[in-house]
């Protein structure tokens, strides 16, 4: 693997010169890492307040079950997103068949469906009273669900299935990018050498895509850990639910902070383990312009089968729940009309997410680029720290941000009163800055990971050439790295945007007065049990989320055409 | 730095509103963990009557943490929450202040307000049993929910949900820890499906043939049967009958929603005004009509749907005791693996 991929990779440039030249970048990264560390530190401080006897109770009654459930959920979802994501990416990259170009972007659509919405939709669809079972009863001649019904979806397999169906695009997206730009020439070489098609996948493409798959799977798993809504709906008692219970039902915030820090450690250990496992592998494309992947043309039955296979995740991950929401929303619309609040909320959601996405991308780029400039152990540690927020459930991270920002706000307010005699109120929370900060802390990992994966495909010889020609680190980034990694950066932007838009827990906790987003509206209705009204908001979330997905598909197709 | 200019502009309005509160007197800021759809009709009526504008933020579980972190700079005037435990939490964390108001003490019975006048209940909800309509069952005790006769026939939401921990706390008060544990094990053994979902799912699952009886809050029945949630939910509501269960040696378990004035309320006067409005006949009626809760003020008529459940005999266990038992009840739920 190493010898094939390292066609043009060279040794890293002399460290000392870079360290001096890249000092600004490294300093900026350190600042960003510090910024992310603040809410974590606030939680550590909370956890240190102590909670009497909590761990004895947890060890005796909660952990055995919760750990088992969490492990099972993560293993199941991990397996499912790997198979679906990698399989789908290979299908639309390696083969050409009618409908492929639509599938290419349609496979991303489930991203727009939050886990709590997919759970809610399927619970209704597959309920004994829902359309699916009603139809089956009609066909079989039963009149009442008491005579015949299918097993309940509210189970561990149900949770794995539903989460896997909406989370696989986290793997599909980076893996496909990797296949497209990296695998082309190698696959061609393999074909020339007579390797059979399925062997190409297992022996060339899959090993090549491993970093991308790893990034994708870890993102999907952290989304799984963050989920409370779907688990609650589906009756899965994961560790995240234990954190929540400890905090809400037992009013034990220090205890909840302790469990969540333990969870963070677990995640960090897993991610490190994966990185350690591929420590000896280097990935870098050839210096020549990456060749377009020439897909193999399929005909007849094979083409139809490929299309069907590609449609499965799209149908179950997006079409079915979206259609269900559309029908429910339509019913509601006829019943109660459209609330004009929905438009304001859609705008709030869009602007807030867009703003946060820009910030997240810029910070991610700085950290990822600084790591490239100085691939030193210390810098890598900074990068890990800056990625910590994603490993924490949104509720917990939101609490950390709240504690940290509110204290700063009070300091500002007090100082303003002391010096100028005016009260500023809560400047950061009141302006929504706190919320943006929470998004940054939570989703920075996505942009660092994706941008890093993108940069890693650009040979270091390019950097050296640019630097030899007298460009500084900034100019090299602007003129070499940015143009070359545009698709990856766009992909990262998409993921972050959609994630911001779906984010619920931190948004609920940190938003200013009189400020609603689609997600908070949805939650307000769902919490009251007025699901029909919620259907409109849920559909709106899905629609707002679909827009950037389509936009991204256009960007990428434009790229391909050039 | 974490937000671009465009967003900043959009958020400006919110900021101005916030900054303005310390100057303009005719406004007040409400932090509520009650859902906006429910609170809005009440606030509209209040603004119409008094001209005072209410800025709200709907918070779920972070209400206490947010007010605590904001400290003396918090713009919050009135804190509204469900469950006596949450209200007591606010007091324990030192986030509230006592209110001296004859209007409030006259309207809210003594057992439904904080002895130190820190919080006041605004509405009540009973933890009842939904039963399939054709089931021959007219009365039931909470103790009987553990009767093996119900094996595989009972639906309930997570045992860690505050509505259930409240009920289990009351059981603790009546029977002590040992019996509560045995009872919880019995209830768990009767479950038709995993504990989870919401209270309405109980009715839905009864119609769906999954269970025969379900434990749920009273007001959901009104929301379903009134047709406010659409025809589908009316069908769920009509598929069940409501039984007001009691403890063998007591009455029906009720919990409350209520409010407290924030310790650093910049608009305390307006906050008290709103609080007093919320116990007025008009507002108490809205609580009944909009959300089918029981009014706290004696003499206010019940919604007909709620009245049809029969006479509510409130369990005498003091709310303060239920609150005090909460952590123990929650620990027992873990211990018997109720949700597993």
Domains defined for chain B, CATH in brackets: 5-124+254-302 (3.40.190.10), 125-253+313-335 (3.40.190.10)
Q: Are B121 and B80 in contact (CB under 8 A)?
A: no
- Pick among A158, A233, A527 to test the B interface (most B CBs inside 10 A): A527
Phi, then psi, of A338 in degrees rounded to 5? -100, 125
CATH code, domain carrying A407:
1.10.3720.10
Residue A553 CA to residue A559 CA, distance in Å, equals 10
Residue A394 CA to residue A511 CA, distance in Å, equals 14
Whole-number pLDDT of residue A291: 61
Residue A482 CA to residue B136 CA, distance in Å, equals 72
Contacts of residue A7, Cβ cutoff 8 Å, sequence gap at least 6 = A284, A285, A286, A287
Residue A259 CA to residue A244 CA, distance in Å, equals 10
Dihedral angle over CA of A87, A91, A94, A99, nearest 10: -160
Sign of CA dihedral B156, B296, B58, B64: negative
A306: its two tokens? 């490929």
pLDDT above 70 (res A13): no
A153: its two tokens? 């979806």
Are A61 and B66 a contacting pair at CB < 8 A?
Answer: no
What is the average per-residue pLDDT within A526-555?
76
Are B3 and A245 a contacting pair at CB < 8 A?
Answer: no
pLDDT above 60 (res A205): yes
| A80 within some domain | yes
Chain A 415-444, CB below 8 Å of chain B: which residues?
423-427, 429-433, 436-437, 439-440
Q: What is the ipTM of this complex?
A: 0.79
A448: its two tokens? 């660092």
Binned at pLDDT 50, 70 and 90, residue A76 comes out as very high
Are B14 and A529 a contacting pair at CB < 8 A?
Answer: no
Phi, then psi, of A280 in degrees rounded to 5? -90, 0
Binned at pLDDT 50, 70 and 90, residue A377 comes out as confident
Sign of CA dihedral A537, A542, A543, A548: positive
Q: Are B28 and B54 in contact (CB under 8 A)?
A: yes
| A197 within some domain | yes
| A429 within some domain | yes
Are B199 and A529 a contacting pair at CB < 8 A?
Answer: yes
Whole-number pLDDT of residue A6: 43
Whole-number pLDDT of residue B2: 43
pLDDT above 50 (res B6): no
What is the average per-residue pLDDT within B248-265?
95
- Pick among A120, A332, A425, A496 to test the B interface (most B CBs inside 10 A): A425
Least Cα distance to A37 among A29, A355, B307 occurs for A29
Chain A 393-412, CB below 8 Å of chain B: which residues?
395, 398-399, 402-403, 405-407, 409-410
Would you say how long chain A is, in residues?
562
| A334 within some domain | yes
In this predicted model, what pLDDT tens digit does every residue of B21-58 receive, in sequence order?
Answer: 444 458 999 999 988 888 889 999 999 999 999 999 99
Residue A253 CA to residue A246 CA, distance in Å, equals 7
Phi, then psi, of A130 in degrees rounded to 5? -75, 175
Chain A 352-381, CB below 8 Å of chain B: which residues?
352, 354-356, 358-359
Structure-model confidence comparison of residues A210 and B313, the more confident one: B313
Q: Are B257 and B325 in contact (CB under 8 A)?
A: no
In this predicted model, what pLDDT tens digit does every residue of B128-152 receive, in sequence order?
Answer: 999 999 999 999 999 999 999 999 9
- Pick among A441, A514, A523, A531 to test the B interface (most B CBs inside 10 A): A514
Contacts of residue B75, Cβ cutoff 8 Å, sequence gap at least 6 = A425, A426, A430, A513, B18, B21, B22, B29, B266
Residue B61 CA to residue B31 CA, distance in Å, equals 12
Whole-number pLDDT of residue B16: 44
Least Cα distance to A170 among A214, A135, A202 occurs for A214
In this predicted model, what pLDDT tens digit does every residue of B197-207 receive, in sequence order?
Answer: 888 888 889 98
Residue A334 forms contact with B (CB below 8 Å): no
Please give the full DSSP string across A279-341, using - where no structure is assigned. TT------SSPPPPP-PEE--HHHHHHHHHHHHHHHIIIIIHHHHHHHHHHHHHHHHH---TH
Are A402 and B62 a contacting pair at CB < 8 A?
Answer: yes
Are B204 and A129 a contacting pair at CB < 8 A?
Answer: yes
Q: At what angle do helices A23-47 and A433-456 cross, to 10 degrees?
A: 130
Q: What H or E segment, with its residue span, contains residue A356?
A: helix A341-373
Structure-model confidence comparison of residues A191 and A28, the more confident one: A28
pLDDT above 60 (res A378): yes
Are A354 and B7 a contacting pair at CB < 8 A?
Answer: yes
Residue B222 CA to residue B234 CA, distance in Å, equals 9
In this predicted model, what pLDDT tens digit does every residue of A235-267 receive, in sequence order?
Answer: 888 888 888 888 877 788 888 888 888 888 887
Residue A483 CA to residue A544 CA, distance in Å, equals 27
Report DSSP state, residue B3. Answer: S
Contacts of A518 in chain B (CB under 8 A): none
A38: its two tokens? 């603040």
| A60 within some domain | yes
pLDDT above 80 (res A492): yes
Contacts of residue A547, Cβ cutoff 8 Å, sequence gap at least 6 = none
The model's pTM: 0.83
What is the average per-residue pLDDT within A482-489?
82
Q: What is chain A's mean pLDDT, rounded?
A: 83
Are B162 and A249 a contacting pair at CB < 8 A?
Answer: yes
Q: Are A462 and A477 in contact (CB under 8 A)?
A: no
pLDDT above 80 (res B272): yes
Are A514 and B326 a contacting pair at CB < 8 A?
Answer: no
Contacts of A335 in chain B (CB under 8 A): 230
CB count in 10 Å sphere of residue A305: 12
Binned at pLDDT 50, 70 and 90, residue A562 comes out as very low
Cα distances (angstroms) measured from residue A250 to each of A439, B160, B326: 27, 9, 7
Contacts of B208 in chain A (CB under 8 A): 127-129, 145, 149
Task: Indicate the pairing of strand B213-217 with strand B154-155.
Answer: parallel
**Host domain of residue A279:** 28-560
What is the average per-residue pLDDT within A19-40?
84
Chain A 121-140, CB below 8 Å of chain B: which residues?
123, 127-129
Whole-number pLDDT of residue A559: 52
Chain A residue with CA closest to B54: the answer is A514
Q: What is chain B's mean pLDDT, rounded?
A: 89
B7: three-class secondary structure by DSSP = helix
pLDDT above 90 (res B211): yes
CA B54 from centroid of its chain's CA atoms = 21
- Pick among B73, B79, B132 to test the A interface (most A CBs inside 10 A): B73
Phi, then psi, of A238 in degrees rounded to 5? -85, 175
Residue A350 forms contact with B (CB below 8 Å): no
Residue A34 CA to residue A388 CA, distance in Å, equals 11
What is the average per-residue pLDDT within A471-500?
84
Whole-number pLDDT of residue B66: 92
- Pick among B3, B18, B161, B338 to test the A interface (most A CBs inside 10 A): B3
pLDDT above 90 (res A498): no
Residue A508 forms contact with B (CB below 8 Å): yes
In this predicted model, what pLDDT tens digit does every residue of A170-180 receive, in sequence order?
Answer: 899 888 878 87
In this predicted model, what pLDDT tens digit does every residue of A391-403 receive, in sequence order?
Answer: 888 888 888 999 8
A372: its two tokens? 């490239």
Q: Are A366 and A22 in contact (CB under 8 A)?
A: no
Q: Cα-atom radius of gyration of chain A, to the nearest Å?
A: 24
How many domains are contained in chain A? 1
pLDDT above 80 (res B234): yes
Whole-number pLDDT of residue A380: 85
If you count residue pairs, one on A and one on B, with CB atoms under 8 Å apart, how many are there?
234
Q: Are B75 and B266 in contact (CB under 8 A)?
A: yes
| A482 within some domain | yes
Contacts of A129 in chain B (CB under 8 A): 204, 207-208
Residue A248 forms contact with B (CB below 8 Å): yes
In this predicted model, what pLDDT tens digit does every residue of A425-451 receive, in sequence order?
Answer: 888 888 889 999 999 999 998 899 888
Least Cα distance to B257 among B299, B292, B303 occurs for B292
Are B7 and A532 a contacting pair at CB < 8 A?
Answer: no
| A10 within some domain | no
Whole-number pLDDT of residue A63: 85
Chain B residue with CA closest to A60: the answer is B335
In this predicted model, what pLDDT tens digit does every residue of A270-309 receive, in sequence order?
Answer: 777 777 776 666 655 554 455 667 788 898 899 999 999 9
Contacts of residue A203, Cβ cutoff 8 Å, sequence gap at least 6 = A190, A195
pLDDT above 80 (res A9): no
Q: Closest to A331 (Cβ–Cβ): which among B10, B38, B230?
A: B230
Contacts of B337 in chain A (CB under 8 A): 61, 65
CB count in 10 Å sphere of residue A377: 8
Q: Closest to A245 (Cβ–Cβ): which among B73, B160, B205?
A: B160
Would you say how long chain B is, in residues?
340
Q: Closest to B75 (Cβ–Cβ): which among A129, A425, A440?
A: A425
Whole-number pLDDT of residue A4: 41
Chain A 257-316, CB below 8 Å of chain B: which residues?
none
Contacts of residue A365, Cβ cutoff 8 Å, sequence gap at least 6 = A447, A451, A477, A489
Contacts of A432 in chain B (CB under 8 A): 3, 7-8, 11, 14
Q: Are B277 and B49 in contact (CB under 8 A)?
A: yes
Whole-number pLDDT of residue A537: 83
Chain A closest-CA separation from residue B68 CA (Å): 9
Best-predicted range by mean pLDDT (A115-129, A201-215, B38-52): B38-52
Chain A 98-117, CB below 8 Å of chain B: which residues?
none
Are B3 and A356 a contacting pair at CB < 8 A?
Answer: yes
| A511 within some domain | yes
Report DSSP state, residue B72. Answer: G
Q: Are A538 and A326 in contact (CB under 8 A)?
A: no
């Amino acid at each position: 693997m190493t010898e094939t991929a390292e066609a043009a990779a060279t040794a890293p440039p002399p460290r000392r010169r870079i360290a001096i030249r890249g000092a600004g970048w490294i300093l900026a990264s350190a600042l960003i890492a510090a910024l992310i560390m603040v809410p974590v530190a606030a939680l550590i401080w909370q956890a240190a307040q102590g909670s009497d006897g909590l761990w004895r109770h947890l060890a005796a009654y909660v952990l055995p079950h919760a750990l088992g459930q969490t492990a099972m959920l993560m293993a199941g979802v991990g397996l499912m997103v790997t198979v679906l994501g990698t399989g789908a990416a290979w299908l639309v990259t390696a083969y050409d068949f009618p409908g492929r170009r639509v599938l290419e972007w349609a496979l991303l659509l489930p991203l727009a469906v939050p886990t709590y919405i997919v759970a809610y939709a399927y619970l209704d669809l597959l309920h004994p009273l829902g359309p699916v079972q009603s139809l089956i009863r009609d066909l079989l001649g039963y009149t009442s669900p008491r005579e015949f019904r299918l097993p309940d979806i509210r189970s561990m397999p149900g949770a794995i299935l539903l989460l896997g169906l909406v989370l696989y695009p986290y793997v599909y997206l980076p893996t496909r990018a990797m296949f497209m730009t990296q695998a082309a020439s190698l696959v061609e070489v393999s074909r020339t050498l007579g390797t059979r098609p399925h062997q190409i996948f297992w022996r060339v493409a899959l090993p090549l895509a491993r970093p991308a798959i790893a990034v994708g799977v870890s993102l999907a798993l952290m989304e799984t850990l963050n989920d409370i809504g779907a688990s609650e709906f589906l009756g899965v008692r994961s560790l995240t639910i234990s954190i929540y219970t400890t905090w809400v039902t037992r009013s034990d915030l220090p205890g909840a902070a302790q469990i969540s820090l333990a969870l963070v450690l677990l995640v960090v250990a897993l991610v490190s383990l994966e990185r350690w496992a591929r420590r000896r592998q280097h990935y870098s494309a050839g210096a020549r312009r990456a060749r377009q992947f020439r897909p193999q043309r399929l005909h007849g039955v094979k083409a139809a089968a490929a299309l069907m296979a590609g449609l499965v995740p799209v149908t179950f991950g997006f079409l079915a729940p979206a259609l269900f929401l559309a029908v429910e929303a339509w019913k509601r619309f006829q019943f109660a009309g459209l609330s004009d609040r929905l438009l304001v909320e859609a705008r709030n959601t869009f602007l807030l997410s867009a703003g946060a996405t820009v910030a997240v991308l810029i910070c991610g780029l700085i950290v990822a680029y600084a790591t490239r400039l100085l691939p030193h152990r210390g810098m890598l540690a900074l990068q890990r720290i800056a990625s910590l927020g994603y490993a924490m459930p949104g509720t917990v991270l939101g609490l950390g941000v709240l504690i940290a920002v509110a204290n700063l706000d009070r300091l500002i307010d007090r100082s303003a009163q002391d010096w100028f005699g005016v009260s500023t109120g809560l400047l950061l929370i009141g302006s929504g800055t706190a919320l943006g900060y929470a998004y940054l802390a939570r989703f920075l990992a996505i942009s660092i990971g994706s941008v890093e994966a993108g940069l890693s495909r650009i040979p270091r010889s390019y950097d050296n050439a640019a630097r030899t020609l007298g460009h500084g680190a900034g100019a090299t980034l602007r003129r070499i790295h940015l143009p070359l990694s545009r698709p990856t950066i766009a992909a990262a932007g998409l993921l972050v945007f959609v994630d911001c838009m779906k984010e619920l827990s931190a948004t609920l906790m940190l938003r200013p007065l009189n400020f609603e987003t689609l997600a908070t509206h949805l939650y307000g209705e769902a919490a009251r049990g007025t699901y029909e009204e919620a259907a409109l908001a849920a559909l709106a979330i899905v629609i707002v989320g679909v827009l950037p997905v389509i936009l991204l598909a256009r960007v990428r197709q434009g790229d391909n055409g050039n | 730095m974490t937000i671009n200019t465009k967003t900043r502009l959009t958020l400006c309005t919110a900021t101005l509103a916030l900054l303005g509160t310390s100057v303009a007197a005719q406004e007040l800021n409400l932090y509520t963990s009650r859902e906006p759809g429910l609170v809005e009709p009440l606030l509209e009526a209040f603004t119409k009557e008094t001209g005072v504008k209410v800025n709200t933020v709907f918070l779920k579980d972070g209400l206490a943490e947010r007010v605590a972190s904001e400290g003396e700079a918090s713009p919050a005037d009135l804190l509204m929450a469900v469950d006596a435990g949450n209200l007591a939490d606010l007091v324990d964390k030192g986030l509230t202040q006592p209110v001296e108001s004859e209007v409030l003490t006259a309207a809210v019975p003594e057992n439904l307000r904080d002895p130190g006048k820190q919080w006041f209940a605004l509405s009540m909800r009973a933890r009842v049993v939904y039963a399939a309509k054709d089931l021959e069952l007219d009365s039931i005790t909470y103790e009987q929910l553990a009767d093996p006769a119900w094996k595989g026939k009972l639906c309930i939401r997570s045992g860690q949900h505050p509505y259930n921990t409240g009920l289990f706390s009351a059981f603790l008060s009546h029977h002590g820890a040992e019996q509560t544990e045995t009872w919880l094990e019995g209830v768990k053994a009767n479950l038709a499906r995993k504990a989870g979902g919401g209270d309405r799912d109980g009715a839905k699952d009864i119609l769906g043939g999954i269970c025969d009886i379900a434990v749920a809050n009273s007001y959901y029945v009104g929301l379903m049967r009134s047709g406010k949630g659409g025809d589908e939910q009316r069908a769920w509501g009509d598929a069940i009958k409501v039984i007001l269960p009691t403890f063998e040696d007591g009455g029906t378990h009720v919990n409350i929603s209520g409010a407290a004035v924030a310790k650093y309320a910049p608009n305390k006067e307006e906050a008290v005004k709103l609080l007093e409005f919320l116990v007025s006949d008009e507002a108490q009626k809205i609580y009944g009509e909009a959300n089918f809760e029981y009014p706290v003020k004696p003499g206010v008529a019940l919604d007909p749907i709620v009245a049809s459940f029969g006479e509510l005999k409130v369990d005498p266990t003091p709310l303060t005791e239920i609150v005090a038992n909460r952590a123990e009840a929650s620990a027992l739920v873990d211990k018997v693996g109720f949700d597993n």
